Amino acid sequence: MKLTREARSIAVVINAGSRKGSAARELVVQSLGKAGLPVSAMYTVDGGGDLNRTLERALAEGHDLVVVGGGDGTVASAAGLVAGTDVALGVLPLGTANDLARTLDIPKDLGEACKALAEGKIVDIDLGRANGQPFLNVASAGLSVAVTQALSPRLKRLIGPLAYGVATVRSYAKHKPFHARLEFPEGDHPPVELENLLQVAVGNGRYYGGGNAVSPTAGIDDHTLDIYAILMAPLREQAKIARSLKNGKFVENERVYHLTSRSVRLVTTPPLPVNLDGEITTGTPTDFTVERNAVHVVVPGNSSSATFEGRG
């Protein structure tokens, strides 16, 4: 299957716990039905274990396209389940940041996203793993975890992506620097010791944090991970780094260590929790890998974000 219209059976799973999920069901049903897509099953869940059980059920039922409506964490969970199978994944951006949708050129308007899904094509994207757990955009330790913890559902509902900026300011004032060691199992880089850190991140996709770029060259089908570490710095220098987050050029700053690899092991002192696409699901030490072309996903017909290559 290379085009959505070739799908024989479609299951739709909507996470009602996502920012826009509770109001999305009716519009999704109407839009996909109007587009003539063969929706065979529709599920609404509240996240957590219910989400995974429902996704597993949809896969077991034999649908060749599973459409998931939710935030980036929801979509990453689904991607981890369909990875390595012939099932294609459709994405409806119902979260706060929706960075995967941004990476894949999927419209943020739900009606337009449904239309793009109906007329879309299938491409392959890479899947990141952190201690075996899936992520699509970025995994990180340090300041970003505190930001995630400060992102209350109420704040996200009220101001949307602007909540990231508010949470970052709140978290920065409380941050405690840490030490990290980066090890490279494939031997493509020597081990690196870094002190006095603000954050370490490992990127698989193009965008994170509500539209920040991982690096100027990052892509979700380049078969590599972008690794960067930001050192603590005076507030003026941190502001300079922050101003170049949107285009990814912050990695060129002298207080940012950046490289690429297919795998990396992160060890921190003290041990720290790790944020995967907005969900804190593992901790350091962390082994990061990338699975090449692991997930078939629907993108708009005019998208150039990825191609259909097949797994390798």
The sign of the dihedral angle between the CA atoms of 261, 123, 117, 76 is: negative
Beta strands in the chain (DSSP E): 10-15, 39-45, 65-70, 88-93, 121-130, 133-135, 138-142, 178-183, 192-203, 207-208, 212-213, 225-231, 256-261, 263-269, 273-276, 279-283, 286-299
Return the pLDDT at 171. 63
Question: In this structure, are residues 27 and 114 in contact, taking their beta carbons and an 8 Å threshold?
Answer: yes
pLDDT for 161: 63
Bridge partners of 45? 15
Q: What is the dihedral of CA 98, 104, 109, 115, to 10 degrees?
A: -140
Domain 133-291 has CATH 2.30.42.10: no
SS3 call for 179: strand
Pairing of strands 192-203, 207-208: unpaired
Residue 312 is predicted with a pLDDT of: 54
The residue written with tokens 């995994």 in the block is 139
pLDDT at position 156 = 59
Q: For residue 117, which of 43, 75, 67 has the smallest C-alpha distance?
A: 67
**Six-digit token pair at 244?**
């170049």
- What superfamily would CATH give domain 4-125+293-299? Probable inorganic polyphosphate/atp-NAD kinase; domain 1 (3.40.50.10330)
Least Cα distance to 10 among 122, 97, 93 occurs for: 122
Give dist(CA 299, CA 312) in Å, integer.
Answer: 21
User: What confidence score (pLDDT) does residue 32 get?
Assistant: 80
Query: Could you list the active site residues?
Result: 279
Tell me the residue length of the chain.
312
**Residue ranges of the chain with per-residue pLDDT less than 70:** 19-23, 47-49, 148, 150-174, 310-312
Residue range(s) occupied by CATH 3.40.50.10330 in the chain = 4-125+293-299
Which stretches within 194-281 are classed as H helix? 235-243
pLDDT on residue 297 = 97
Partners of residue 201 on adjacent β-strands: 140, 228
Cα 33 from Cα 192, distance rounded (Å): 53
pLDDT confidence of residue 210:
86
Q: Which pLDDT does position 48 carry in this prediction?
A: 66
The predicted-structure confidence for 72-96, as pLDDT tens digits, reads as follows 999 999 999 999 999 999 999 988 8
| Residue written as token pair 């075996």 | 132
What does the DSSP 8-state code read for residue 106? -
Quick one: pLDDT at residue 204?
Answer: 98
Chain region(s) in the chain for CATH 2.60.200.40: 133-291
Q: Burial letters for 6-33: b for 16+ Cβ neighbours within 10 Å, e otherwise?
A: ebeebbbbbbbbbbbbeebbeebeebbe
Query: CA-CA distance, 267 to 184, in Å (whole number)?
Result: 12
